[in-house]
Chain A
Amino acid sequence: GQQLNQSPQSMFIQEGEDVSMNCTSSSIFNTWLWYKQDPGEGPVLLIALYKAGELTSNGRLTAQFGITRKDSFLNISASIPSDVGIYFCAGHGSGTYKYIFGTGTRLKVLA
Chain B
Amino acid sequence: GAVVSQHPSRVICKSGTSVKIECRSLDFQATTMFWYRQFPKQSLMLMATSNEGSKATYEQGVEKDKFLINHASLTLSTLTVTSAHPEDSSFYICSAPRGGGGAANEQFFGPGTRLTVL
B: number of interface residues (CB 8 Å): 28
- Report Cα–Cα, A1/B42, bound state, in Å: 13
Find out whether the CB atom of A42 lies under 8 angstroms from the CB atom of B109: yes
- Looking at B13-21, B44-52, B63-71, B79-87, the stretch in contact with chain A turns out to be B44-52
Find out whether the CB atom of A45 lies under 8 angstroms from the CB atom of B107: yes
**Cβ 8 A contact of A43, one of B6, B46, B60, B109:** B109
What residues of B have a CB within 8 angstroms of the CB of A88 in the complex? 43-44
A96 on interface, CB distance cutoff 8 Å: yes
Chain A residue, CB-CB nearest to B101 = A97
- Report Cα–Cα, A104/B49, bound state, in Å: 22
A30 on interface, CB distance cutoff 8 Å: yes
Q: Nearest-CB distance from A84 to chain B (Å)?
A: 15
The range of chain A's interface size is 20 to 34
What residues of A have a CB within 8 angstroms of the CB of B4 in the complex? 42
B114 on interface, CB distance cutoff 8 Å: yes
Q: Nearest-CB distance from B3 to chain A (Å)?
A: 11
Find out whether the CB atom of B103 lies under 8 angstroms from the CB atom of A35: no
What residues of B have a CB within 8 angstroms of the CB of A102 in the complex? 43
Question: Would you mind naming 15 contact pairs between A and B with Cβ atoms under 8 Å apart?
Answer: A3-B43, A30-B104, A33-B106, A33-B107, A35-B109, A42-B4, A42-B110, A44-B1, A48-B106, A88-B43, A92-B103, A97-B102, A98-B34, A99-B34, A99-B103
